[in-house]
Amino acid sequence: MHDRERARRALGPVSIAPPDPSWPQHFARERDRLRPFLGPRADQLQHYGSTAVPGLSAKPIIDMMGPVDSLAEADLLGHNLIAAGYHPIDAGFLKRRFFRRGAEHAPLAWHLHLVVAPAWPIKNELLLRDWLIHHPAVARAYQALKLRLAQTCGDDMPRYTDGKTAFLRSAVNDARRSLGLPPEQDWDE
């Protein structure tokens, strides 16, 4: 059962950092580091979220996502991820497993989502990343929202995330429409 307070403590405070052009390199190094733990699934990992959008301020967290065929597969890979320094976090997701690893001597962390995603190439988070990259005005509006929420949410990462929901759903559906896809109706992840 999802415990919102436990998730809040596990995720830490909301902190927005200025854009860092090295974030994609951090992703690439971590993907390479995870190859022995994830096998061929590591090759499908995608960098998404704000650290994947050049010039966008972000929480210093490298968000990664990879497809799995089932939650049972994600659970098996999760045992390997624990050996790689990741910790599972129950953030209330229904169709994915979520893991976090903090950096020892840096303010950087890694989040890894293993998702059951039959439509992997058009996964909403990946569409959003690309939409923000190609629509700088939307990215700037998103950045302004994140900065406002960071000031008001303090150490409540789930509340911060909830505060972004309406904006992100709208942007995802704009991205989907631009590709001729129907709007997303099932936000239950």
Domains of the chain (ranges; CATH) run: 4-178 (3.30.460.10)
| pLDDT for the residue numbered 160 | 87
Tell me: pLDDT of 5 over 70: no
The tens digit of pLDDT for each residue in 8-46 reads 455 556 788 999 999 999 999 999 999 999 999 999 999
| pLDDT for the residue numbered 4 | 53
Q: pTM for the complete prediction?
A: 0.87
Which pairing describes strands 61-68 and 109-116: parallel, antiparallel, or unpaired?
A: parallel
Q: Which of 60-69, 74-83, 149-158 has the lowest mean pLDDT?
A: 149-158
Task: Kindly compute the dihedral angle of the four CA atoms of residues 76, 114, 47, 159, in this order, to the nearest 10 degrees.
Answer: -130
